[in-house]
Amino acid sequence: NAGVMQNPRHLVRRRGQEARLRCSPMKGHSHVYWYRQLPEEGLKFMVYLQKENIIDESGMPKERFSAEFPKEGPSILRIQQVVRGDSAAYFCASSPPLAGSTDTQYFGPGTRLTVL
């Protein structure tokens, strides 16, 4: 049973370019969360999505960042016009539907973004 998958694992971008991060949840999971971890800091929530719906984006910067979880395919976190401060590890987590199951979140391996 495959876990949460993320790609790419490492991404290098120059300032001003776009970064696109992908996340496929665990089989049977319909909730996806994105977190960001800056060097020497804890995990910070960014956005919570279900299929075709953004449930909570209160942790997303207002500009340049967007996320989607289409009916088909992986969830995508998009960062436009990247700046050096965007360099971080971006983790995706997934959890099963809440009804009748646990609310535990399982993390993918992360995408480490480096902005030159």
Partner 1 sequence: QKEVEQNSGPLSVPEGAIASLNCTYSDRVSQSFFWYRQYSGKSPELIMSIYSNGDKEDGRFTAQLNKASQYVSLLIRDSQPSDSATYLCAVKPYRGSTLGRLYFGRGTQLTVWP
> By three-state DSSP, how is residue 65 classified?
strand
Nearer to partner 1, 33 or 82 (CB): 33
DSSP state of 27: T
DSSP state of 12: E
| Helix H or strand E segment including 47 | strand 43-50
Is residue 59 near partner 1 by the rule CB under 8 A?
Answer: yes
Nearer to partner 1, 17 or 43 (CB): 43
Chain positions contacting partner 1, by CB under 8 A = 31, 33, 35, 41-45, 48, 55-56, 58-59, 91, 95, 98, 102-110
